[in-house]
Homo-oligomer: A and B are copies of this chain.
Amino acid sequence: MSSTPARETYRHGDLRQALVEAGLDMAREGGPDAVVLREATRRAGVSPNAAYRHFADRRALLVAVSNTAQSAVADAMWRGYSAVDESGDPAAVAKARLRGVGLGYIRFAREQPGLFRAAIGVPDDLANSGSPAKAGVNGLTSFQILGRVLDELVVAGAMPADRRPNAELFAWSAVHGLGMLVIDGPLRGLTDQMIDGASERLIDMVERGL
């Protein structure tokens, strides 16, 4: 991608971004544990300590990588949301969107297991949970996208309003758990079709149970 091993100028230009980019590449294959600070600087064509001008820590770099990964997750969910045809019964549309969002999440977990792990496996400060850095192209965090879908379900009458509070947590728990099962649980190694089937059934459960 952005590999400029030999640099002309003393200054790099946008080292911070380059380091995050390198970190993402490493996370893609190998997950968060595979992102190593020195290697990132090497790929950016810079000395190891240069990283410390932009990140306090390896951990800080990891958090930045994780944020970008989370925004990729949000994008995947949003694609699932947007793919739904808006015409027809509002309740059906809302349900389809819930399904689309859930499937988008699972699909991302399967297609980008390394990034997925980096997205969910790096603890960050609670205060940054709604940070724009974690949001997707449309400005919404994955959690916020889910919240939006749930709101739509209530408005469309497909979900009792008194169950709405905190419902994100439960829906998210379900898909998130399945994501983990897919990348290194008992579902690892199953075919795409089998996993899709399991995802559908999981979402059936959520729909019925919410």
Q: Which of A's residues lie within 8 Å of B, judged by CB? A: 33, 120-121, 123, 126, 129, 143, 166, 169-170, 172-178, 180-181, 184, 186-189, 198, 201-202, 204-210
Contacts and interface: CB of A to CB of B under 8 A. Distances in A.
Given A177-B180, A206-B205, A207-B209, A186 B120 contact: no
A208 B170 CA distance: 13
Residue from A33, A121, A174 with most neighbouring chain B CB atoms (10 Å): A174
Residue among A170, A173, A175, A208 with max Cβ neighbours from chain B (10 Å): A173
A207 B205 CA distance: 9
Nearest to A173: B177
How many copies of this chain?
A: 2
B123 A184 contact: yes
Contact of A177 (B174, B188, B205, B210): B174
A170 B204 CA distance: 10
A181 B210 CA distance: 18
